[in-house]
Structure 1
Amino acid sequence: MTAGRTVGRAALVAAGVVALDQVTKAIVVANIDRFEQVDLVLGLKLVHTRNTGVAFSMFSGGGALVVVIACVALAALLAFFFTHLKTRLVWLPTGMLLGGAVGNLIDRIRLGWVTDFIKIPHWPAFNVADIAVTLGVVVLVFVLEKASK
């Protein structure tokens, strides 16, 4: 696959993640009061919370520092991606990671916090961007493992 196609596919995945993330957050903000919980199934709930930190609310209230760290991480991800364009399927986890990071970064810059809304028992609330980042890391491990064989 050409470098242009690899970049295009990563950009398409990232754009899809950002769009889905922002739409779902807007729906939650418009329909669920802050701190309200809506029971779904098997302990799964929709909630409306704000996270001013990063994963598991670490560095809560970090403000500009959290944004700077996120931007540095994005730059590192892009540097990795552009040096691995020939790695088979690298576009998929890169798009997922980029889209998730940008989705949450949009909230941090625009609002000063990230809207989280998916709650499972014994786990902090999270959102679509968080899912994309988590799955992106898992997929990246598989892609790199396969590439090393």
Structure 2
Amino acid sequence: MTIPASADGSSVGREAERRDGVVVRFRPSWRSVAVAGAAAVVAVLVDIVTKWLADTRLPGAPVDLGIGRLQLSYNTGVAFSLGDGLPTWAVLGLAGVITSGVLVAIVAGWLRPPVPAGLVLGGAVANIVDRAGDGAVTDFLWLGWFPTFNLADTAITLGVLALLWASWRTESSTGTGTEQKSADQGRPPSDGTS
């Protein structure tokens, strides 16, 4: 059902369901789930290949890139070396719970657009797969002012930023932000006769 976002009849989206003027849930589009899944698979494959290249080509031979360098390191902590020294089972468990939550949110239709959601999922899965082998994640991108990271970390970060941006744009274009809520508070409830 298409939900009118305002009196002018503009639409919020086909997946929203409305009861008594309130959006109660989003039904997932299987096309969106497939697109998110494809983005996740691409993120995992690219990360696996680049980590393999880093493991085989970079040991003892960093490559200067001008703005940083390709430099092999191994991270036993969580994102960007935080929590270094935590037991592997704890890091894998935490990553598994977060990844499961992201997967549920994608299938439920809560995370949109699908490509950034898939990047977050793919990056998380890629780092879990890498860590499961030896308890550490292969990192190889070093900028000098930031902890060493990998393409899975990049996929997660860019995906989260794109999801936040899309959420902000959706709220500002549909009037579901604070301005709309404030305006709605002063209106009497509709009896459905208009």
Q: Trace 1:114-129 onto structure 2 (pairs within 5 A).
A: 114-129=137-152
What residue number does 2:10 align with?
none
- Amino acid corresponding to residue 17 of structure 1 in structure 2: A
Kindly indicate whether the alpha-carbon contact (under 8 Å) linking 2:36 and 2:106 is maintained by their aligned counterparts in 1.
no
Distance 2:65 2:165 in 1: 32
DSSP 3-state at the match of 1:126: coil
Q: 79, 82, 86: which is aligned to 2:104?
A: 79
What residue number does 1:105 align with?
128
**Count of residue pairs brought into register by the alignment:** 145
TM-score between the two structures when normalised by the length of structure 2: 0.70
1:132 aligns with 2:169: no
**Which of these two proteins has the greater Rg computed from alpha carbons?**
2
Distance 2:54 2:108 in 1: 38
Q: Which of the pair has the greater relative contact order for Cα pairs under 8 Å at 6+ separation?
A: 1
Distance 1:3 1:129 in 2: 26
Q: Trace 1:1-149 onto structure 2 (pairs within 5 A).
A: 3-33=29-59, 36-42=61-67, 44-62=68-86, 63-84=88-109, 89-148=112-171, 149=174
Distance 1:81 1:29 in 2: 32
More helix by share: 1
Kindly indicate whether the alpha-carbon contact (under 8 Å) linking 1:67 and 1:109 is maintained by their aligned counterparts in 2.
yes
DSSP 3-state at the match of 1:121: coil
Equivalent pairs: percent with the same residue? 35
Kindly indicate whether the alpha-carbon contact (under 8 Å) linking 1:10 and 1:95 is maintained by their aligned counterparts in 2.
yes
Distance 1:79 1:19 in 2: 22
Unpaired runs of 5+ residues, structure 2, are 1-13, 15-27, 175-194
Provide the aligned C-alpha RMSD in A. Answer: 1.7
- Runs of 4+ aligned residues of structure 1 deviating over 6 Å after TM superposition are none
DSSP 3-state at the match of 1:60: coil
Unpaired runs of 5+ residues, structure 1, are none
Distance 2:80 2:113 in 1: 27
TM-score between the two structures when normalised by the length of structure 1: 0.89
Deviation readout 1:20-62 (Å, 9 max, x if unpaired): 000000001011115x4221223x1000100000123122132
Kindly indicate whether the alpha-carbon contact (under 8 Å) linking 2:62 and 2:69 is maintained by their aligned counterparts in 1.
yes
